[in-house]
Amino acid sequence: MTRYSAAHWGVYEVSPGDRDAAPRLAPLGSDPDPNPIGLDQLEEGMARLRVLRPAIRKGWLEKRTREGRGEEAFVEVPWDEALDIVAAEIARVRRDHGNEAIFGGSYGWASAGRFHHAQSQLHRFYNMLGGYVRSVDSYSLGAGRVLMPHIAASMDESNASHTSWDVLEAHCELFVSFGGVPLKNTRVSSSGAGRHRARDGLRRLREAGARIVNIGPVGDNLGDGDAEEWIAVRPNTDAAMMLALAWVVLHDPLFDRSFLDSHTVGFDRFRAYLTGEADGTPKTPAWAAAITGVPAGRIAALGQDLLRHRTMLNCAWALQRAAHGEQPFWALVTLAAMVGQIGLPGGGYGLGYGAMNVMGSAHPRLPGPVFPQGTNGVSAFIPCARIADMLLHPGERFTYNGGVHRYPDIRLVHWAGGNPFHHHQDLNRLRQAWARPETIIVQEPYWTPVARQADIVLPATISLERDDIGFATREGFFVAMRQAVPPQGEARDDHAIFAALAGRLGVEAAFTEGLDMMGWLRRIYAESAGKIAATGINLPDFDHFWEEGIIDLSAHDRPHVMHADFRRDPLVHPLATPSGKIEIYSEKIAGFGLDDCPGHAVWREPFEWLGHEMAARYPLHLLSDQPERRLHSQLDASAYSRAGKVAGREPVYLNPADAASRGIADGDVVELFNDRGRCLAGTILSDAIMPGVARLATGAWFDPGPELERHGNPNVLTLDRGASGLSQGCVAQTCLIEARRFEGAPPRVAIFDLPQVLPRNVSP
Ligand SMILES: Nc1nc2c(c(=O)[nH]1)N[C@H]1C(S)=C(S)[C@@H](COP(=O)(O)OP(=O)(O)OC[C@H]3O[C@@H](n4cnc5c(=O)[nH]c(N)nc54)[C@H](O)[C@@H]3O)O[C@H]1N2
Ligand SMILES: Nc1nc2c(c(=O)[nH]1)N[C@H]1C(S)=C(S)[C@@H](COP(=O)(O)OP(=O)(O)OC[C@H]3O[C@@H](n4cnc5c(=O)[nH]c(N)nc54)[C@H](O)[C@@H]3O)O[C@H]1N2
Ligand SMILES: [Mo]
C-alpha cells in the first residue's frame, strides 16, 4: 500500500527501497507539475551531514566560555547528560536574569507536519516555563505584514484569498506583474505544497488570450516565457513606476471615481501628492522615467491600457523586502483601487502570485490541525530581522507599528527549525552579535552553519523519521505522514527533546498534558475535523485517515474572487481596517509621524540603489532571490541543489555587457564585494538580467574562509537595517556591490566537510 509524506515542497508517495536501500520518494501521482526538490533527501549526500549525537562545544563544556564559538571542536555527550546540562542552564538563566533573558524567537521554516513543527514545540515549552522573548512578522513579509492590516487585509487573509487561476483564465485580459511570477518559487508552500498549479494557471491564462507583462530587473521570471513584454526597471524603484501609472490613470478620460468614493478613504490626500499640489512634484511618466530608467512613453502607454481591460495588477513579495518596502504594496493597492476593478473576477490586485503555490488555489479554506502553544508571560519582542540589533544593543529603543520598545538583554538563545546564518542580512555583523550571549542551543538534523555556530547541538529527526499530519491552507490535502525510516544516529523528535527538558524542569505534565505523540495526533486531528464538520465537510475518523494515508479535498474546490463580498456590499462585508474600507490614506499610520512611512503611498529613495552616489563605487544592484533548487538553505548538499552550482559555488547571473567590461566570462569564479563583505560565486551570463544588476540566490551554506565567504552566500553583502520605522522589515533586496574576476586558484568550499566532533574523554 502506498504511504505518503508531506513537505513544504510537495507531497511524496513513499515506497520501500530494495533490501537495505532507503525508501524511494516519488511525487504525488496527481501532481500536474511535480517538484524535484527533496526527492533525494534520504541519499548519502544529505545523510552524511546529519548530527548523530548531542554535541557540546569544547570550551563551553569545559569552562563555559563564549570564546571559540563557531571555531572550536565539539564533544559528543550522552543524551541524559546533555539534557541535564541544558535544563540546568535554562534554570540558571531564569534564576539569575529572568525569562526576559531567553530569546526563543527561533525564526525559520523548519519542516512541514502540523505536530512536529519545531517552533511551535519550542514556544510551548518556554511558555510552560513562564515565557521567552519572541520575534514577530517574517523575513518574507516584514513590511507587508505590518502595513497591510492598516490599509486592506492582513497578509494571512490575503494569501489565503487570492483570486483563483480558473477565474483569471476566464476573465483577466491584462496581467501586469511587478517581479514576475517565478515558477521556481511556486514549487513550495509553507506547511506543505499540494498539487503544483502555477505553471498550468499561467499557461491557460496566456492561451485564453490575456496579455501578460513582466516589470522588473529580471526578464525570465514569468512562467515558461508566458510574458509577452518585459519592462526592465531599476531595482527598488517600482513605487515610482506605480505612482506614474496612477498619474496616467488619473488623467485618463475613462477614469471614474465611483469605486474610490464607495470603497476607499483618503483618495484626495493622495491625489494632492500625485499631482504635485502637495509637494510641487507631479508624479508624471517623465518624473518616473528618470528614477526607474523606463522610457516615459512606455509608462504612459501601459497606464492607458489599465482602464481599457480587465486588469490584474500583481507584485512579488521581493519588492517589499527592501528599503521603504511598504511603498510598492501600498502604491499597488492604490493603483488597483483607482482602476476600480477590485472584487471583480479577473481584476484587482495580487500580492505574490509568484511567491508560493497556495496563491490562486481553488481548494477550500479550512481550519487545520494546530498544536497549541500556550501563553507567553514575557512581553518583550523584536521584529524578526532586528536580531543583530537586539544582541548588540540591549536596552536601546526601536519603533514598531506606532509604538516605542526596548531591546531586551539576552543571555540564552535557543533555536529550533531555522538558520539565521542563512536568513539574516550582513552575516559578518551577525557574527559579532552572536558572540555576545552566554549560551546558544540549537536543535538541528544537520550540521548546518547555525549548528556549527552553537554551543550545544541537539540532533533532531527529519519528517520521514516520525509520524505526523500534513496540512496546509488551501493546498487540498490531509496527509498521514507515517514514519518511513528509523531516526538516523541518536536523533530525537523536537517534541521528545522538549518533553524530556520539561520533565527536568518540573513542567512535564503541563507540556505533554499526559498525551504521547500518537495521542496528540489524534487530538489535533479530531479538533480540526470537528471545526471542519461545521462547514459541511465530513472527514473520516482518525484511524480511517491513518490507514488511507491521504484525504483529497478537491471535490470541494470553488472558483474564488478576492474581495468579491466587500465589493458587493462594503457595509455588510467591511474590511478589517479602521474605516472598514481600503485606506489610500491611513489616519492611523499618518498619526505615527514617520517620515519614512507617511499616511499614503510615496516614493522615497532606497538606502542604496543605482541612483545613489554609492553606485559610483559599487555599480551593481544585488538581488538575492529565492533559490530554484532548494528551500532557502535546506537540502543545499543534495544532488539536485549541487547540480545547479557553477565551479562548485552558487551561480551569480550577470548581464553580458557588465561581464565584458570587467573581463568576466561565463563559468568564471568571481568575487562579489562591498564594504560589508566579500564572497565568491560562479558566473552565468544572461541577457535576462538588466545591465547594472546581479542576481545571486540565497541559501548556499555560509562558508566563511579567513579572507572571504567561499560558497556564494549573498548575506555577507546585504544590508542589516529596518525597512522603515513602521515595520523594521528585512531589506535584503537593497544592496549595492561590485564584481571582479577571481585570479588564481579559488579556495575550496569546505562547508560540506563535517565539523570536528570528538568522542567523550578524548583530547584533540
Ligand atoms: N538575502 C536574502 N536573505 C533572505 C531572503 C532573501 O530574499 N534574500 N529571504 C528571507 C526569507 S523570505 C526567509 S523565509 C528566510 C528563510 O530562512 P530559514 O527559514 O531560517 O531557512 P531554512 O534554510 O528553511 O532553515 C530551516 C532550518 O530548519 C531545519 N529543520 C528542518 N526540519 C527540522 C525539524 O524538524 N526540527 C528542527 N529542529 N530543525 C529542522 C533545517 O535543517 C534548516 O536548517 O530567509 C530570508 N533571507
Ligand atoms: N524554490 C523555492 N521557492 C521558494 C522559496 C525557496 O527558498 N525556494 N522561498 C519561499 C519563500 S520563504 C518566500 S517568502 C517566497 C518569496 O517570494 P518572492 O519574494 O516573490 O521571491 P523572490 O525570488 O525573492 O523574488 C521574486 C522576483 O522579484 C524580482 N525582484 C527583486 N527585486 C525587485 C525589484 O526591486 N523590483 C521588481 N520589479 N522585481 C524585483 C526578482 O527578480 C525575482 O524574480 O518564495 C517562496 N518560494
Ligand atoms: Mo520567506
316 within ligand 2 shell (Cβ under 6 A): yes
- Taking the centre of ligand 1 as the mean of its atom positions, its distance from the CA of residue 415, in whole angstroms, is 11
φ, ψ dihedrals at 554, nearest 5°? -70, -15
What digits encode the pLDDT tens for the residues 400-459?
999 999 999 999 999 999 999 999 999 999 999 999 999 999 999 999 999 999 999 999
Q: Is the pLDDT of residue 517 over 60?
A: yes
What digits encode the pLDDT tens for the residues 217-247?
999 999 999 998 999 999 999 999 999 999 9
- Taking the centre of ligand 2 as the mean of its atom positions, its distance from the CA of residue 145, in whole angstroms, is 16
Nearest CA to ligand 2 atom 42: 218
Q: Kindly list the catalytic residues.
A: 107, 109
| C-alpha closest to that of 197 among 40, 10, 345 | 10
Residue with cell 500500500: 1
108 within ligand 2 shell (Cβ under 6 A): no
Q: Is the pLDDT of residue 18 over 90?
A: no
Nearest CA to ligand 1 atom 14: 140
Residues within a 6 A CB radius of ligand 1: 108-111, 116, 118, 139-140, 321, 416-419, 422-423, 443-446, 448, 460, 462, 494, 624, 631-634, 698, 714-715, 718, 732
| C-alpha closest to that of 643 among 634, 630, 654, 656 | 630
> What does pTM read for this prediction?
0.98
What digits encode the pLDDT tens for the residues 590-621?
999 999 999 999 999 999 999 999 999 999 99
Q: Is the pLDDT of residue 468 over 50?
A: yes
- Taking the centre of ligand 2 as the mean of its atom positions, its distance from the CA of residue 184, in whole angstroms, is 9
Pocket test for ligand 1, best of 109, 631, 638 (most atoms within 8 A of CB): 109
- For each of the domains in the chain, give its residue range(s) and CATH number, in order of start: 3-137+368-472+483-548 (3.40.50.740), 142-364+561-591 (3.40.228.10), 613-741 (2.40.40.20)
Minimum-distance ligand 1 atom for the alpha carbon of 8: 24
Q: How many CB atoms lie within 10 A of CB 71?
A: 12
Query: Could you give the dihedral angle defined by the CA atoms of residues 433, 146, 325 and 700, in that order, rounded to the nearest 10 degrees?
Result: 50
The average pLDDT across 466-471 equals 98
- Classified as helix, coil or strand, 10 is strand
The confidence score (pLDDT) of residue 763 equals: 53
- Taking the centre of ligand 1 as the mean of its atom positions, its distance from the CA of residue 605, in whole angstroms, is 30
Residue with cell 528551500: 631
Minimum-distance ligand 2 atom for the alpha carbon of 318: 19
What digits encode the pLDDT tens for the residues 116-134?
999 999 999 999 999 999 9
The confidence score (pLDDT) of residue 17 equals: 85
Nearest CA to ligand 2 atom 38: 216
Residue with cell 515595520: 727
Chain mean position to CA 69: 27
The average pLDDT across 667-689 equals 98
What digits encode the pLDDT tens for the residues 20-49?
888 999 999 999 999 999 999 999 999 999
What percent of the chain clears pLDDT 70, i.e. is strictly above it?
A: 99
The average pLDDT across 506-517 equals 98
Residues lining ligand 3 (ion), CB within 5 A?
Answer: 140
What's the mean per-residue pLDDT of the chain?
97
AA identity, residue 484: A
Q: Which residues of 737-764 are buried (b: 16+ CB within 10 A; e: fewer)?
A: bbbeebeeebbebebbeebeeeeeeeee
Ligand with minimal distance to 139 CA:
1
Nearest CA to ligand 2 atom 29: 179
Ligand with minimal distance to 468 CA:
1
Minimum-distance ligand 1 atom for the alpha carbon of 626: 7
Tallying the residues shown for the chain, one arrives at 764
Q: Count CA atoms closer than 13 A to 154's CA, side-chain side.
A: 5
Nearest CA to ligand 2 atom 12: 140
| C-alpha closest to that of 627 among 533, 556, 698, 719 | 698
318 within ligand 2 shell (Cβ under 6 A): yes
- Taking the centre of ligand 3 as the mean of its atom positions, its distance from the CA of residue 298, in whole angstroms, is 32
Distance CA 755, CA 49 (A): 9
The average pLDDT across 696-724 equals 97
